Amino acid sequence: MKISKKVIILSFLLLGISFITNAQESKVTIEFKNAETAVKLIRTYTEALQKGDANTMNAQLHEKAMIYGLGGGLDSLNVQQHKEYYTNSTNQFKHSISKDLYLPVKVDNNWNEGEWILSWGTNTITNKKTGKEVVIPYHTASLIQDNKIIYIRYYYDMLNILTTQGYTITPPKK
């Protein structure tokens, strides 16, 4: 019986070490072979937005790219929907990006494996008809594959946009 207990304890110990070893194999780095190229890709995308050039923006996208977080309630946009969204947006608004920052991150052996570019900044959107401005802090997380953007997740201050459009928040009655 002592041998069985020792075998069971040793088995659990080895299993635990195995889990710890596997967890430590995940690797994140900001210095990798394609980092500079990936940052340039996102900068080109961002500069095209400021120029109102949806075609150049779309040229940075992988043919199977998916874009999340744009278009209000829309769950996701494919490449064609992305082009339509930004063609409409740049026809109505001028986008001016400032305080932008780009961070390349490579993740290995994890659920989010790949070469990512994290971007932060401020997008000042000016209505071309009225001249009214909306200042929108933003963050994007973009996954790069085959030197193209395959995935973008937009995060931005939606409340700022809505209040600028005249929406108000009414607190619940107590």
- CB under 8 Å to 127, separation ≥6 — which residues? 92, 93, 133
Distance, in Å, from the CA atom of 69 to the CA atom of 121, rounded to the nearest integer, reads 16
**What confidence score (pLDDT) does residue 26 get?**
84
Structure tokens at 123: 């997008």
Contact 141, 148 (CB under 8 A): no
**What confidence score (pLDDT) does residue 57 get?**
97
Residue among 158, 153, 151, 118 at smallest CA distance from 137:
158
- Is 10 a domain residue? no
- Is 174 a domain residue? no
Number of domains the chain contains: 1
Distance, in Å, from the CA atom of 1 to the CA atom of 60, rounded to the nearest integer, reads 65
pTM of the predicted structure, to 2 decimals = 0.80
- Is 142 a domain residue? yes
- Is 21 a domain residue? no
- Is 14 a domain residue? no
**What confidence score (pLDDT) does residue 23 get?**
52
**What confidence score (pLDDT) does residue 72 get?**
62
**What confidence score (pLDDT) does residue 32 get?**
87
- Residue 174: how many CA atoms within 13 Å on its side-chain side? 0
Q: From first to last of its 174 residues, what are the pLDDT tens digits of the chain?
A: 555 544 444 444 444 444 444 555 889 999 889 999 999 999 999 999 999 999 999 999 999 999 999 866 567 999 999 999 999 999 999 999 999 999 999 999 999 999 999 999 999 999 999 999 999 999 999 999 999 999 999 998 888 888 888 899 898 998
- Is 111 a domain residue? yes
Which CATH number goes with the domain that contains 86?
3.10.450.50
The DSSP call for residue 9 is H
- Is 93 a domain residue? yes
Domain that holds residue 146: 26-164
- Is 70 a domain residue? yes
The DSSP call for residue 112 is T
